[in-house]
A and B are shown apart, each in its own frame.
Chain A
Amino acid sequence: MLIPFYTTAQEKKLTTYHLSEVTISHDTIPSENYLLSVDDYMNQRNDLQVVKRGGFAFEPIVEGFTDGQIAVSIDGMRVFGACTDKMDPATSYLEPVNLKKLSVLKENESQMYGTALGGTVMAEMRYPDFSKPLEVGVQTAYSSNSNGFDGNLYVEKTISDQWGIRYSGAYRKHDSYTDGNNELVRYTQYEKMNHTLTSTYKLSSAEKLTALLMYDHGMDIGYPALNMDVSSAKALMGNIGYTKHYDQGFINHLEAKVYYNDIKHVMDDSKRENVAIRMDMPGSSQTLGAWVSVNRKTNNHTLTLKGDFYSNHLFADMTMYSPSGGVNMYMLTWGDIRRNSFATNFQDEWKLDPRLTLLTNVRLEWASTNLQNELARKQLETMNYFIDGPRSDLSGSFSALFKYELNSSIESKFGVSYTSRMPSASELYGFYLFNANDRFDYLGTPDLKNEKVTSFDFTLRYHKENWQIGARGRASFIEDYIVGVVDENYDSMTSGALGVKTYQNVEGATSTHFEVFAGVAFSKQLNYNLNLVHENGYIDALHSPMPYQRPLTIKNKLSYQLQKLTSSFYYEYSIGMQSPSAALGEQKTDPYHLVNVDFSYPVKLKNNRLYLELGIHNLLNSYYIDPFSWNGIPNSGRNIKTSIRFII
């Protein structure tokens, strides 16, 4: 039995329950969740928000911090989407069937994977665990609302005591869904497949090699909030890892990995009607990287030192086909942007007292970013920026977190952090990137300064044997906040755009996050969890709320086990977006109630397991718009999902 009482990844060590000799982390993805898409999975979490532009490829948001301000790590790899319009967050190339964990790391822990203001979304892939000679799982599901098929398969084979392999594959195909008013929401269809092969080879009892190869292909993906869809989004990722544990010696653990990933993303509008102009907008992203991490434990210290490197290359262009028979138009939106980054990270967990622990983390990152394409440089000359070489940036963070246990029932944490992040590729060199949310074309600014955040974090948690209650708050003060500012000197390029914004550093932005969490296990069969979140943010220079601040949202989950039938009842209430960042395209949204129910029933077979599952999501068929949904695209109405899961 699991009572997931978590609020942040930092609390994992404190809040992971050890029941029936099984340790399960909140972030662990069980096989019953394989049918969920990663989007659904992220959407359900309390510690993560998502931006929706349609029915697929939700963009993760961590406490109001978004792309460029958070890092995404997939199996230790830095992965950067290949779409200038953020249609392909790195998480869109994942499938739960190939994931072991999806964690949201904040403050101290997040810095291990990138210099991030808001946190890190970290996906750990599933590798063979040598627990069985052979395990095979097959799962299929049908979704009534979108006439959707989801299927996945995994095979995990222990070839020898040293060597194991695991293959997992998934295929999904969904038509456009209908909303709570039973209206078809056009262009919400998608199709994708994923193949992942992982392998572990034990060199000794303390030493192993791992390898990953993953191919993901999304097709015919609609984005109703945008002017364009995606005909193809392909990702190829691979890595080789090495791990060694030392029983004796100066260090206790060593881990290293080299990796490469290649993403190709093709936007097009061939299925749209009445467009002002037909366009092709392909983009690509390649990242090569490596890192090594060593860990040393002493009586009072757990020290971790990590060095990492990555080299990322981004390219995107745009061809516009003249509707009047004139000459076609072409421009570069990401003109061969190359970023080489070197970082070192040091973390210490210092047990000052049996009840007091201090976690400190220092990260230093140096990066060279260059606009390599001569044509793209000439484009920027039209903005009076003359690029003749790479720019160098020094960024990093420092954080300290005190964890204090007042007694066996009360825990508290207080943390402070300072993070300086370098501007993203789009913020520096993006060229007329259309933002369909605020309907402005965005231009990069090559001389942007780093964005800096000072954050204070406080958590108080009271827990007894079978219940807990707690609260967490964070306040962030941002200097040189990077945001698009309207520039009247430029004409918009996109038909229908309201104007042009250039990325600028502005002073005086603040954001706060507050949440209350509680949970109780009434019995072995019945437990209940509650999470309440409210966020707020303001950009002084724009006299505007900060975007992506979660309005008051309450999530409740009641789980009940009746003999073999497992059921869960989920209820979410949000007051809707009442203080939208209108300057940045957000709209007011109405309050909503959302109810989901899920049932799972195992059928006993001789040597195998068969599960029959039924889920009714949005049971009340509520018409609602997610507060972060672009352009007021409504969410899916009632959906009945049936599935069969078979495990050998």
Chain B
Amino acid sequence: MKNIFLALFLSIVLFACNEDNSSIEPEQPILEYAIASEKDEANTYTLTLRSSKASLHEGVNNVAFVTEGDTLPEGGEWKILPKMHMQMEGMSHMHSTPFLGFDEADNHASGIGQILFLMPTVEMGSWTLEVSYLVEDESIADWTFDIQVDAIEFLAQDPTFKTVVRVPMGDSDETLIMGYNFTAGEPAMGRNEYEVLAFKRMPAMDHGHGDGHAHLETYMPLNDLTIKSTPFMPDPSMNHGSPNNTDPSFVSEGKYVGIANFTMTGGWQIKMNVSEGENTYLTEEGQSFYTEF
């Protein structure tokens, strides 16, 4: 039976607070790197955006929002909205991007979640993260982070090598969006557990024009995909795969976990064949995840 559809309408997700009010030890931050800190609009609460890496980048990012100083009231909910603001030929566009997680939230922190940035910050477009904390639907604090999302550039020049895979889903306007995350943080020689985040992107009716949230696109986690994977070294001098890999399989809402064995350092593709029932969305000849290390 399919999982219950959880629309990320307007890409807004509300998270119930955990009743456990145990504080986070400052000596052991929830994630290693502090990316940015902002005061809320009332200048009362300070919120820090933390990440598992030193900077945010195109693709899957493990992040958390952690309060500093004054404590928020208990029993609230977090609301998070990533936005890409684009200016093209005098027209403004706005897009969002999918995310997952933030399950273990409380009045100190949002818990760890994963934001899949579909694109980096560019000259004509910048990212913000709008974060709110609400108690009984009443906003207690609102923060806005202007963030830099770095592009990931590879030495290998191949348009099909991706950190974010985007392919049309059949003849519809919907798009399959996938990103990867190595559980250990970075890929390495040997056995690598990795997560694949998969979403269906449904376009906004007005394509994101204007400034209303209701006009942003929607991302729906996909839970019934079948993913066959082949780690592969595409360098012409290599042109080989690796043994004993495990295809990603569904573990939780929009998330699949597999094993990729990398026998050496270098540039590695993870070629995929992705289908849902009778529908095949991606074959190994198409876009693939790619990484260099």
Contacts and interface: CB of A to CB of B under 8 A. Distances in A.
Nearest to B233: A329
Given A375-B189, A375-B190, A493 B263 contact: yes
Interface in B217-273: 233, 235-244, 261-267
A249 interface: no
A133 interface: no
A489 B243 contact: yes
Contacts of B188: 378
A489 B264 CA distance: 17
A327 B156 contact: yes
B289 to A, nearest CB: 15
B291 to A, nearest CB: 10
Given A329-B264, A331-B264, A382 B242 contact: yes
A325 B243 CA distance: 26
B263 A379 contact: yes
A377 B292 CA distance: 21
Contacts of A325: 155-157
B266 A328 contact: yes
A326 interface: yes
B262 A326 contact: no
Contacts of A320: 237-238, 264, 266
Interface residues of B, number: 28
A323 B261 contact: no
Interface string A543-561: 0000000000000000000
A491 interface: yes
B266 A330 contact: yes
Contacts of A277: 237-238
B255 to A, nearest CB: 23
Contacts of B235: 322-324, 326, 329
Contact of B191 (A331, A375, A378): A378
Q: Which among A327, A328, A375 has the highest number of chain B CB atoms within 10 Å?
A: A327
A322 B235 CA distance: 7
A590 interface: no
Nearest to A332: B189
Contacts of B155: 322, 325-327
Interface in A326-355: 326-331
Interface string A468-493: 00000000000000000000011111
Contacts, number: 96
A567 B261 CA distance: 64
B159 to A, nearest CB: 15
A491 to B, nearest CB: 4
A554 B157 CA distance: 61
B190 A276 contact: no
A381 interface: yes
A300 interface: no
B237 A382 contact: no
B191 A493 contact: no
A408 interface: no
Contact of A383 (B237, B241, B244, B265): B244
A327 B190 contact: no
A432 interface: yes
A327 B266 contact: yes
A323 B237 contact: yes
Contact of A491 (B236, B237, B243): B243
Contacts of B190: 375, 377-379, 381-382
A70 B184 CA distance: 44
Interface in B147-163: 154-157
Interface residues of A, number: 30
A493 B268 CA distance: 13
Interface in B72-106: none
A11 B36 CA distance: 83
Contacts of A322: 155, 235, 237, 266-267
Contacts of A384: 244
A273 to B, nearest CB: 15
B263 A326 contact: no
B189 A378 contact: yes
Contact of A490 (B156, B191, B239, B243): B243
Contact of B237 (A276, A330, A381): A276
A491 B233 CA distance: 11
Contact of A330 (B241, B244, B265): B265
Given A323-B237, A324-B235, A378-B189, A330 B264 contact: yes
B265 A329 contact: yes
Contacts of A328: 265-266
Contacts of B265: 327-331
A336 to B, nearest CB: 14
Given A330-B265, A381-B190, A493 B244 contact: no
A377 B191 CA distance: 10
A495 interface: yes
Contacts of A431: 263
Interface string A563-590: 0000000000000000000000000000
Nearest to B266: A329
Contacts of B238: 277, 320, 329, 493, 495
A331 to B, nearest CB: 4
A327 B263 contact: no
B266 A382 contact: no
A320 B237 CA distance: 9
Contacts of B191: 378, 381-382
Contact of B236 (A323, A330, A383): A323
A30 B239 CA distance: 54
Nearest to B263: A382
A378 B259 CA distance: 13
A381 B189 CA distance: 9
Q: Give the most central of A326, A379, A495: most B CB within 10 Å.
A: A326
A501 to B, nearest CB: 13
A420 B265 CA distance: 38
A513 B156 CA distance: 55
A527 B263 CA distance: 60
Residue among A325, A330, A377, A493 with max Cβ neighbours from chain B (10 Å): A493
Contacts of B239: 495
Contact of B261 (A329, A381, A495): A381
A379 B189 contact: yes
A137 B213 CA distance: 96
A615 to B, nearest CB: 45
Contact of B189 (A324, A331, A383, A490): A331
A283 B236 CA distance: 26
Contacts of B244: 382-384, 489
A375 B189 CA distance: 7
A597 B99 CA distance: 84
A492 B240 contact: yes
Given A327-B292, A375-B190, A382-B244, A495 B237 contact: yes
B243 A324 contact: no
A383 B261 CA distance: 9
A383 B266 contact: no
A382 B155 CA distance: 25
Contacts of B267: 322, 326-327
Contacts of A375: 189-190
A382 B268 CA distance: 14
26 contacts: A320-B237, A320-B238, A323-B235, A323-B236, A325-B155, A325-B156, A326-B154, A326-B235, A327-B156, A327-B267, A327-B293, A328-B265, A329-B238, A331-B189, A331-B263, A331-B265, A375-B190, A378-B191, A379-B190, A379-B263, A379-B264, A381-B190, A382-B191, A382-B262, A489-B244, A491-B241
* 4 interchain residue pairs of minimum CB distance: A378-B190, A329-B266, A277-B237, A382-B261
Given A327-B156, A327-B292, 16 more contacts: A276-B237, A318-B264, A320-B237, A320-B264, A323-B236, A324-B236, A327-B155, A329-B235, A330-B264, A330-B265, A378-B188, A381-B191, A382-B244, A382-B261, A432-B263, A491-B242
Interface of B: 154-157, 188-191, 233, 235-244, 261-267, 292-293
